[in-house]
Amino acid sequence: MNSSLRLFSSELTCPASESTQNANVNFLLSRPSLRVSCFVKKGGDARVRVSNRDGRKTKAVVCCQLMHSHKEESDERKRRLQVVPVPVQKADFVRTLLIDNYDSYTYNIFQELSIINGVPPVVIQNDDWTWEELCHYLYKENAFDNIVISPGPGSPACPEDIGICLQLLLKCWDIPILGVCLGHQALGYVHGAQVVHASEPIHGRLSEVEHNGCQLFRDIPSGKNYGFKVVRYHSLVIDSESLPAELIPIAWTSSTSTLPFIGSKDFGKSNTHEAQPDQSISIDPLLAKVGNGSSNHFDYGKTRSARVLMGIRHSTRPHYGVQFHPESVATCYGSQIFKNFREITDDYWLRFRSSFKETHAYSDACMQVSSANRLYREVCRSISTENNAVDQLKEIVHADRHLEYNKAEMKHLEMFNMVNTHHATTGYKCLKLKWRKFGHLAGQVGGAKGIFCGLFGLEAENTFWLDSSSTEKGRARFSFMGGKGGSLWKQLVFRLSHQSDGSSKGGGYLSTEDSQGSAETIFLEEGFLDFLNRELQSYRYDKNEYEGLPFDFHGGYIGYIGYNLKVECGVKSNRHKSKTPDACFFFADNLVAIDHKNDDVYILAIHEESSSITQWLNDTEEKLLSLNGSVRMALERQKSLPLTFSSCKVGFAAEKSKEQYIEDVKKCLNYIKDGESYELCLTTQIRKSIEELNSLELYLHLRERNPAPYAAWLNFSKVDLSICCSSPERFLQLDRKNILEAKPIKGTIARGATEEEDEQLKFKLQFSEKDQAENLMIVDLLRNDLGRVCDPGSVHVPRLMDVESYATVHTMVSTIRGKKRSDVSAVDCVKAAFPGGSMTGAPKLRSMELLDSIESCSRGIYSGCIGFFSYNQAFDLNIVIRTVIVHEGEASIGAGGAIVALSNPEDEYEEMVLKTKAPTRAVMHFA
């Protein structure tokens, strides 16, 4: 027997010894229909007694009042576990069931396990499967080798927060389980430990961890200054004094010690130091009592130890928990922990199974298509199921690529694929592209502004301009512009239906108008994004036609997606109805592109095979070459006078007063304290009535005073809407090589009045622990979102927490990239990540629900995205911030900031005000 197996045998006894001990424990949660917020109250005494093998009484805690009976594990399973094993080799892969507690970091774990296990895990949310279904896959089909329970918002004492996980931890004593954060707390809670408020909420911050050298931490250093730094996201902890005897502490950290990220990039550092278990931690039995109603009804107490539990394991079961997040980009040795858990799993089944290979053969054949068929029917339930059901249960769960499948079952899958292929290709359109290049022309004809005004005039109705007005330091390179076009041009306006009653799930009305003025309105039951997906997949084209173009937009849809379309991306409902349409797009068949790096100008036109577009190209070329750079505005603009925010308030009415906004920040802090969120991106709106305003002049003024790499001008005259955007933030880009990129901004500070002050402020932002925490949380969130649609192992962070400087502010920016999976579409990628995490907080779904209850109006276009979807499915979208929306005689500006545990309410208000200064000054200059 090898050394790792000897170490493991000292940590665990044979699981078969627990079969009678747990036989009479009927602790099972029914699927909850209502949220019950409930923590452990110290001093409670709810309990039951059961007998172990030798007849002695032992305590088993009843952690919830919702209970029902459960069939015992199959006799076949028990017999197999009790057979004396024979030596076999370890498997080439490990099959993990990953339980998602509606968290925004689950797919970071997915990405790690996909590489370490040899096959990606199967992901289900904690209420996707009933207990009977779960038992079928675990015990009858033997479909999984281990289970990982994800982090998540809330408390393990709340049935809606934890779902089926408590049942797994109590009943699946014979399957290796690793709980992360909430999963760790659930492991403690289900065995009787108390989960209480931490002395301080810690989110997105690093701590050094000491451990006892158990197998989960093999080859990982321990203790202060030895390099084992981990990222923590939690407001609740297991009270170490309530830890029952069957749970063994294996890792700790100081309750107050955190470290800045800068200077801690010592990933991979190795040390042989092993710390001994902390003998000062007392072991007390739990007297647990679970109540109902709000969590505010409970006395949480505080941890009484100066050290916080960061890891536990069960004394006889292969169950482990870690309070920190090993999947975070800033956690050192996170991958090693998952590798060690795989080794634990391998060693466990080597020790207690008669033959690893033999136990898979029958179950693989049985499981293959039956579960896949069921998941096909559930394909629309969630983005995770949509993206992974077929792969996971067709080839990933079992991962035996040499397995011969039942021919009849495979025929069913082939027919399923044929039907879907037919639907995807019916009614396709063949598009042809023609383009011309004019080298070094842009500067000669007045640059991007001169070209736009020269071609489209000052009224600029039904025009677009994706404007890289800030191109220094390689932030952006291309601008695209256009107006009402040829035979393929159309304008789309989409409005969600019945938003005000909170029942909207995405259906709405789509109005279209073509270049000839023909209009129609239809109802889209499945929503706008599914419509857009079908449209993009219906186009056929020749890639050779755009070879030589240095950019990825060759024509297609250009416009915006409003924040309320979150209901098409997993959110249950919108509380507030948007005044503006929820999405507006042009289909641009003619456009002008500018390469700012080389000063080149391109004109492009797309048409169907049977038509011709030579005339537009000829006319546009003639207009371009006639421009001499002397294009001037019809009205002479004067420089705007310096304005303070107080002077702007005369013109703008705030949706909420300073006092109300500060109170909202405090509400957010309370939610964070209770573990409901790690970070909440709170926003508000300011508005001003306007009579006569040339929106294009307003945009031109804004782009001069606040140039930005992802700026935009959009005018939809049909709905009296103009958008003047000076956004510095990219939401998501997919290039022609199928590389996805996100560039979230979190952390903002004003520029200084002098060069010395400016450098000091930049340095202050760079080393601010609060701003680092804000940024890191969103980086991990975006890694998760990309991880849902990218190839395993491809998601990475080439730039973390860089500070970029703009006209009025310094900002902290990170870059996340990954390779898109071949089986997902461009719109699938957007649905996986929308709305941008920098505008929601994390975990995303719970945070958006909370923000909907706190904010008093719809965000509308603000917090959504502007950009293009090229007909070849490349896209580039910004985050709508630093933007003026001019709609039906009103100018509105949205602003806000990320609320974290370290936030100061007064400072958060001042940061929100800072973000409004550039756009409000631009409006006040004209209005």
What does the H/E/C string look like for 73-136? Answer: CCHHHHHHHHCCCCCCCCCCCCCEEEEECCCCCHHHHHHHHHHHHCCCCEEEECCCCCHHHHHH
* Structure tokens given for 300: 């949480």
Task: Please name which of 6, 3, 8 lies closest in space to residue 215, comparing C-alpha atoms.
Answer: 8
* Dist CA 495 CA 580 (whole Å): 8
What secondary structure, in 3-state letters, does 333-378 show?
Answer: CHHHHHHHHHHHHHHHHHHHCCCHHHHHHHHHHHHHHHHHHHHHHC
The DSSP call for residue 226 is S
* Short-list 95, 93, 116, 120, CA closest to 790: 120
Q: Is residue 18 annotated as a catalytic residue, yes or no?
A: no
Structure tokens at 197: 């408020």
Residue 325 annotated in active site: yes
Closest CA to 123 of 135, 105, 110: 110
Shortest CA distance to 836 belongs to which of 886, 881, 790, 882? Answer: 881
With beta carbons less than 8 A apart as the criterion, state whether 487 and 611 touch. yes
Buried/exposed 817-829: b ≥16 CB within 10 Å, e otherwise = bbbbbeebbbbbb
Name, in order, each residue with C-beta under 8 angstroms of 732's C-beta and a sequence gap of 6 or more. 740, 741, 742, 829, 830, 833, 836, 865, 875, 876, 877
Rounded CA-CA distance 375/503 in Å is 25
Residue type at 171? K
Residue 327 annotated to the active site? yes
What's the angle, vertex CA 664, arms to CA 660 and CA 665, rounded to 5? 120
Residue corresponding to tokens 């200064």:
917
On the 0-12 / 13-18 / 19+ scale of CB atoms within 10 A, 103 is buried
- Among the options 64, 135, 158, 181, which is catalytic? 181
The residue type at 831: K
Catalytic residue among 112, 141, 210, 327: 327
d(CA 297, CA 44): 14
Beta bridge partners of 254: 307
- Which of the residues 191, 325, 596, 701 is marked catalytic? 325
Widest Cα–Cα separation across the chain: 98
Environment class of residue 576 by beta-carbon count within 10 Å: exposed (0-12), middle (13-18) or buried (19+)? middle
Query: Strand 96-100 to strand 122-125: parallel, antiparallel, or no bridges (unpaired)?
Result: parallel
Characterize 629-658 residue by residue with b for buried, 16 or more Cβ atoms within 10 angstroms of its Cβ, and e for exposed. eebeeeeeeeeeeeeeeeebeebbebbbee
Q: Omega into 835 within 30° of 0, i.e. cis?
A: yes
- Helix (H) / strand (E) containing 649: helix 645-651
User: Which are the catalytic amino acids?
Assistant: 181, 325, 327
